[in-house]
Structure 1
Amino acid sequence: MNLHIETEQEVDGRWIAEIPELPGVMCFGSSRMDAAAKAEALALRAIADRLDEGEMTPSPHHHRD
């Protein structure tokens, strides 16, 4: 699964970061990096929760030797 973090600065100076592939994963931060880091952490939590609830299945990962 490829995820993309989109960031945008609000008129009040705060930054917002969201991950379009995971609806509801949106975070605010004082900087672009702060907002992106929070969104990444929330995305990992959301994916773990969805795996636990059976809403997602892990994708196979192929290793090349």
Structure 2
Amino acid sequence: MLIIGICLHMPTPEKEQQERRPLLSINDHFRKIVIVGYDIHRKEDELGVLTVRLLDFLTDKNMLEQG
């Protein structure tokens, strides 16, 4: 299963934390991804939340695999 958060823009660390908070409140082992609408480098934090740009999410065939 997959849990997704979507955000157009995360200009500050506070906004990034705000977008991650709902995903982290779900205590399970599902893949958690925040999709953003601007050009960023793909990154996964220490809690396993992956942040990717929309184009990468739509075109990467392996995106839904557990990382």
Q: Give the TM-score band, short-chain normalised.
A: under 0.3
Structure with the bigger percentage of helix: 1
Q: What TM-score, normalized by structure 1, do the two folds share?
A: 0.26
User: Relative contact order: is structure 1 or structure 2 higher (C-alpha 8 Å, sep ≥ 6)?
Assistant: 2
Structure with the bigger percentage of strand: 2
Larger radius of gyration: 1
